[in-house]
Amino acid sequence: MINSSLKQLGEMLQAKKISSVELTQSFLSRIQQYNPDINAYIALDEAKTLTQAKAADALIASGDTTPLTGIPIAQKDIFCAKGWKTTCGSKMLANFIAPYDAHVITQFDAAGAVNLGKTNMDEFAMGSSNETSYFGGVKNPWDFKRVPGGSSGGSAAAVAARLCAAATGTDTGGSIRQPASLCGFTGLKPTYGVVSRYGMIAFASSLDQAGPMAKSAEDCALMMNVMAGFDERDSTSLQREKEDYTRDLHKPLQGLKIGLPKEFFAEGLDANVGKVIEGAIAEYKKLGAEIVDISLPNTGLSIPVYYVLAPAEASSNLSRYDGVRYGHRAESYTDLMDMYCKSRAEGFGAEVKRRILIGTYVLSAGYYDAYYLKAQQIRRLIAQDFVEAFKQCDVIMGPAAPSTAFKAGEKVDDPVAMYLQDIYTISTNLAGLPGMSVPAGFSTGSDGKVLPVGLQIIGNYFDEARMLNVAHQYQQVTDWHAQIPNLGKPNLVLPEELK
């Protein structure tokens, strides 16, 4: 049951083979058993969760249901949920109880889904390993000595370890796709503006985008049907007709043109990861796809551009946390300025402080033109690269991450090495394009550990339905997405209770 798809769970609930309360309780029991080791959740409220499950059962009994009614979903702790602690992984918000619901939370509530709890994350979504959280790092379910990726590491670990039916995440520079690759599940970052950012605590407003994290492409499509849609409260939300993201899942791939950027297969890509990606491409050829060699010449500039623009926006967004209106306030101070300084020094972690300082620097009068303006100009060139590429192909493929999951602490003292984990994902955020990671196999490292590898699929604007179709067809002929960890023991043996 815990390993069932969202569609299967929905059918079981509709047929009264199981109740939402029973399903929810099974996940809560599993969380109680494994979360102390994995640290995927940082806020749980069993009473609230079971109240929602009982309400879902009442909806099912009345026949007033949606495909996700009664299904337990984990929510990244970046989304405000009324009455729930919403911390964004930071000491600054460690005791903040959200007074309202984010748009994403409202959408899932309206669909009758059950909120299982709030998942751990890198502080204010700044990180690629989930090691910057004030509440401690998250462990990768495939190997507890390794990171799950970030910033959506808690959601990633929860999906991989089957501590939820599915989860929400956010992706500013790869924070859905990179952890999806490192933990072996399917994650989708939609086109910028397709999912409302209202009530989603801001990191970099022109880059942040919420998306689904689930076992399969079909599951992600069902979640997108709930999450996507216009919201007048978000000025960047796009006013478009509602889509059914499941509509194209079963279309054959004959004639599909797949672009392979030479920049994605150059120096920096782990050789074993590269072999896995090549194997996935070979499967697509069998499905009738045509391979096209393309170039994204400005890909190498995406990291420096991102780490100018994202910190600049973060320095502005995080200025609101001053210890006055809400957030952490220092216990002792001499005057107002001292209170500001001490509250922010105590409330923010090292990585957040680093990015605030960088952002403030590049926005300063003497350096705005040299750094921020120049980065915006290069951002336009990066977007133009994709425009030219999509004249030659339907989708773009490559690795989602340059390596498998690395050991905890391995890169924490080297920010640049950590930033390079997002080399293949950041450019899509800068261009506002949709991208996803799909399990494509496993790589055995030098230490003999077997760890998952993700294939990245990038689509043109608003092409999520096609991407989900491309991923779904691949998942019909492979079973990589069905493999699950034996919780900390890196092998492919199914735990007895999940067989």
Q: Tell me, what CATH number does 144's domain have? A: 3.90.1300.10
496: tokens are 């007895």
pLDDT tens digit sequence for 187-200: 999 999 999 999 99
pLDDT at 498 over 50: no
**Dihedral (CA of 234, 174, 44, 167) sign:** positive
Q: Is the pLDDT of residue 499 over 60?
A: no
Quick one: CA torsion of 373, 374, 380, 385, rounded to 10 degrees? -170
Residue 277 placed within a domain: no
Mean pLDDT of 111-118: 98
Q: What DSSP element (H or E) covers 258?
A: strand 257-261
Q: How many domains does the chain have?
A: 1
133 is catalytic: no
Question: Residue 415 class from Cβ within 10 Å (0-12 exposed, 13-18 middle, 19+ buried)?
Answer: middle
Whether pLDDT at 446 is above 70: no
Question: Nearest CA to 76 among 144, 159, 161?
Answer: 159
Is 305 within a domain? Answer: no
pLDDT digits (tens, 9 = 90+) for 294-336: 999 999 999 999 999 999 999 999 999 999 988 999 999 999 9
Residue 108 within any structural domain of the chain:
yes
Report the pLDDT value the prediction gives residue 417, as an integer from 0 to 100.
86
- Cα–Cα separations (whole angstroms), residue 330 to 152, 316, 333, 349, 451: 28, 21, 7, 15, 43
**pLDDT tens, position by position, 374-416:** 999 999 999 999 999 999 999 999 999 999 999 999 998 888 8
Active-site annotation holder among 76, 85, 189, 342: 76
- Check: CB of residue 230 under 8 Å from CB of residue 197: no
Choose among 461, 440, 473, 462: nearest CA to 253. Answer: 473
Residue 495 confidence (pLDDT): 40
Give the active site residue among 19, 133, 152, 175.
Answer: 175
Up-side HSE of residue 271: CA atoms within 13 Å toward CB? 2
In the structure, what pLDDT confidence band is assigned to residue 488 with cuts at 50, 70 and 90?
A: low
Q: What average pLDDT does range 105-134 have in this prediction?
A: 97
User: Catalytic pick from 90, 128, 133, 151?
Assistant: 151
pTM: 0.95
Look at residue 402 in the predicted model and tell me its pLDDT.
95
Q: Is residue 117 part of a domain?
A: yes
Dihedral of alpha carbons 160, 164, 166, 170, sign: negative
Q: pLDDT tens, 84-95?
A: 999 999 999 999
175: annotated active-site residue: yes
Query: Tell me, what amino acid is at 468?
Result: L
Check residue 416 and give its pLDDT: 86
Q: What is the CA radius of gyration of the chain?
A: 21
What residue numbers bound the domain in which 142 lies?
Answer: 6-256+436-498
The answer to whether position 368 is within a domain reads no
DSSP per residue, 421-483: GGTTTHHHHHHT--EEEEEEEEEE-TT--EEEEEEEEE--TT-HHHHHHHHHHHHHH--GGG-
Q: How far apart are CA 102 and CA 388, in angstroms?
A: 36
Average model confidence (pLDDT) across the chain: 95
What phi, psi does 228 have (nearest 5°)?
A: -75, 150
CA–CA separation, 139 vs 158, rounded Å?
10
Is residue 218 situated within a structural domain?
yes
Helices (H) and strands (E) in the chain, counts: 15, 11
Report if residue 442 sits inside a domain. yes
For the question of residue 151 being annotated catalytic, the response is yes
Within a domain: 400: no
Using CB atoms within 10 Å of the CB of residue 55, give its burial: 0 to 12 exposed, 13 to 18 middle, 19+ buried. Answer: middle
